[in-house]
Structure 1
Amino acid sequence: MAAAGLAQCLSHRLDKPGCCRYYRAAICRKLKDPLAIEEVPSRPIQPDEVRVDVHFCGVNFADILTCRGRYQESPPLPFTPGIELAGQVMETGTNVSTVKEGDRVISVINFNTMAEQCIVDQKKLWQIPEGVSYQEAAALPVCYGTAILALEQRARTQPGETVLVTAAAGATGLALIDVASNILQAKVIAAAGSDEKCKLALQRGAKSAVNYSRGNMKEELKKLTGGQGVNVVIEAVGGDVCLAALHSLAWEGRMVVIGFAGGSILSIPSNLLLVKNTSVMGIYSTRYLKENFPLFSKYMSSILQYCQEGSIKPHIGRIFKLEEINEAFEHVTQRKTTGKVILSVK
């Protein structure tokens, strides 16, 4: 867009009160290239849709993989990445009855949240309770959604069971420790790649921690469990860490695979499953939006309630501005962060 044309667009951003004709958005035009912040035109909303003024949005490893063409879903180019947001309702369609203008909301959708505004189907919005900030709310949907679905829906974690969480100082790892310890009353062993990260995991509720960058993780876990093994593993690293965790499962133990932060995908030796009657399963939490939306919605409402009550508290590691999105992606890619990375859009 020519400079004069852009200036004219900017001078006419306001279409009507509460609605912008143009808004800033992060755009992926070519896979693996840096993202650009561009002025894009807004579109009219449909009867069941809601226009949200985005305040904060989460940065997830899935966003980075999508922009590299390596995620399970590949939107057509160009696209705006981002799958979660926290913001305020700007405008509602004629059929919308669940929210009204001015309501504070969170959402989980397939892409488009890394922008000043986002159009969302009304059923994919949940109201932020009183006392929960936009920042906290933006850190909840993906990480805590994954945590509670992995622990409760997939692993069926019981009070008093021992849960091993790998990549424990990351955003999802800390959410898993929070949910397992404070909601499900389980005993958490945190596994992370440095003493500093192990220390943070202990501060956030883990009972013990293992630094898998040194020593023998399998032997350490054996000592920590008195030779009994762990009941549940939530695994996010892959490779040797995944194999050591699999060896460490107790009788009828359950492993839930949530990612491969280490870059290596383990081929599961099935004989290990047979010997101790163990189970290995996966979770792709946002798939529940399509396959079992009522279940996903129930857990989202529960997470918001737990946060309002103070039962859980997300750990925000770093906040970047929207125009710093490439720096935010680099920060996550290099595994520099502990806790959740979010973008401030306002």
Structure 2
Amino acid sequence: MRAVQITEFGGPEVLRTVELDDPVPQPGQLLIDVSAIGVNYADTHAVEDSYLSRSSLPMVPGGEVAGRTADGRRVVALTATGGYAERAVAWANMAVDLPDAVSDGAALALVVQGLTAWNLLRTSARMAPGESVVVHAAAGGTGSLAVQLAKRFGAGRVIATASTEEKRKLALELGADVAVEADGEGLKERLIEANNGAKVDVVLEMTGGPVFDASLAALAPFGRLVAYGMASRVTPSPIAAASLMSHSRAVVGFWLMHCLGRPELHAEPMAELLALVAAGELKPLLGEAYPLSEAARAHEDLRARRTSGKLVLDPSR
């Protein structure tokens, strides 16, 4: 089978298309003929071995696939690795049957990024109706869904950030009340101004560095900043306990891995998200579909912030 493999850690240049033997499922696993592969920002970290979990070589990256099982079921599944290939294996409890009304791309937008957006708001931030919510990278896969879900869950004001005017316009079309420039300089003031002069209640933050620092400074008393990524690859300033106490604010970390195996955080919200998409009430933002052989270009575009929505690889190309 064709697959994308790395034999050394690094940037997009280490991704190589190769021929490998088909994976062999273990007891309790499914072999999936892959029709579409999800690309996540976390994949870029895994390829350079800078993610929360360590990578080992050689490796076929990729943690999410859509396709058919040997008995013909159409599924979307989480894989530990091995997703960037024509065939992949997944544990049976990590595969979800897909309604006919949900496309492969839409399903792939939900299995990591949709579940992340749902849990950021419901589980980690515990957003209450009427609260203001800042969604950084609001035109991205997770951000575009978080904007829609925050409105659906009753946010009083959704403030989006994005790096270009086109992306900010898109965030407004998705339901954000206001969209501002994403750059860290002056961000605290822009967020407060966007919230009608008041500090904000919830921030969903995946950039790190100055954006994290400015977002924390913009939090109201009892506000929550949920950190779920570090796309800038810049570490935020250290946080002293006294700083949190003196402002009654909280910083919460989130990693989707801790939701897996917990039905109330994984299976149940996934069923809810699929039903919303099938009914046309939630619209995953779909980005470019790259040939499998151009996985490196997908990583380059993702790291350069040239993309919007969910990126996929097409194993037939």
Give the TM-score normalised by structure 2.
Answer: 0.92
User: What is the RMSD computed on CA atoms of the aligned residues?
Assistant: 1.8
> Within 5 A, what are the aligned runs for 1:258-337?
258-266=228-236, 267-289=238-260, 292=262, 295-337=265-307
Match in the other structure for 2:191: 221
1:62 aligns with 2:70: no
Match in the other structure for 2:143: 173
Partner Cα separation in structure 1 for residue 312 and residue 21 of structure 2: 24
Deviates more, 1:259-268 or 1:229-238: 259-268
Contact 1:183 1:311 in 2 (8 A): no
Structure 2: gaps spanning 5 or more residues: none
Partner Cα separation in structure 2 for residue 74 and residue 293 of structure 1: 26
Match in the other structure for 1:199: 169
Contact 2:216 2:225 in 1 (8 A): yes
Match in the other structure for 1:87: 67
Letter in 1 for 2:73: D
Letter in 1 for 2:78: V
Percent identical pairs in the alignment equals: 34
> Within 5 A, what are the aligned runs for 1:139-178?
139-178=109-148
Match in the other structure for 2:52: 72
> What SS does the corresponding residue of 1:53 show, helix, strand or coil?
strand
Structure 1: gaps spanning 5 or more residues: 1-22, 92-100
> What SS does the corresponding residue of 1:157 show, helix, strand or coil?
coil
Matched residue count: 313
1:132 aligns with 2:112: no
- What stretches of structure 1 move > 6 A for 4+ residues in a row? none
189, 192, 200: which one aligns with 2:159: 189
Match in the other structure for 1:26: 4
Partner Cα separation in structure 1 for residue 193 and residue 155 of structure 2: 22
Shift in Å at residue 227 of structure 1? 3.2
> What SS does the corresponding residue of 2:123 show, helix, strand or coil?
helix
Deviations 1:261-292 (A, max 9, x none): 222221224444223311110101123226x3
Deviations 1:130-169 (A, max 9, x none): 2011121122111111111111011111222110011222
Contact 1:158 1:186 in 2 (8 A): no
Contact 2:137 2:182 in 1 (8 A): no
> What SS does the corresponding residue of 1:251 show, helix, strand or coil?
strand
Match in the other structure for 2:218: 248
Shift in CA distance, 184/41, structure 1 to aligned 2, threshold 3 Å: farther
52, 68, 88: which one aligns with 1:118: 88
Letter in 1 for 2:181: N
> What SS does the corresponding residue of 2:211 show, helix, strand or coil?
helix
Shift in Å at residue 126 of structure 1? 0.6
Partner Cα separation in structure 2 for residue 331 and residue 243 of structure 1: 26
Deviates more, 1:274-283 or 1:216-225: 216-225
Contact 2:133 2:150 in 1 (8 A): yes
Contact 2:7 2:57 in 1 (8 A): yes
> What SS does the corresponding residue of 2:14 show, helix, strand or coil?
coil
Deviates more, 1:119-128 or 1:68-77: 68-77
Partner Cα separation in structure 2 for residue 105 and residue 132 of structure 1: 11
Shift in Å at residue 46 of structure 1? 3.2
Shift in Å at residue 187 of structure 1? 2.5
> What SS does the corresponding residue of 1:69 show, helix, strand or coil?
coil
> What SS does the corresponding residue of 2:260 show, helix, strand or coil?
helix
Letter in 1 for 2:132: T
Contact 1:106 1:125 in 2 (8 A): yes
Deviations 1:154-194 (A, max 9, x none): 11112221100112222221121122123455521001222
Contact 2:114 2:273 in 1 (8 A): yes
Contact 2:139 2:168 in 1 (8 A): yes
Contact 2:183 2:211 in 1 (8 A): no
Deviations 1:64-105 (A, max 9, x none): 11111111223321111001111111x2xxxxxxxxx11111
Letter in 2 for 1:87: G
Shift in CA distance, 215/75, structure 1 to aligned 2, threshold 3 Å: closer
> Which one has the largest radius of gyration?
1
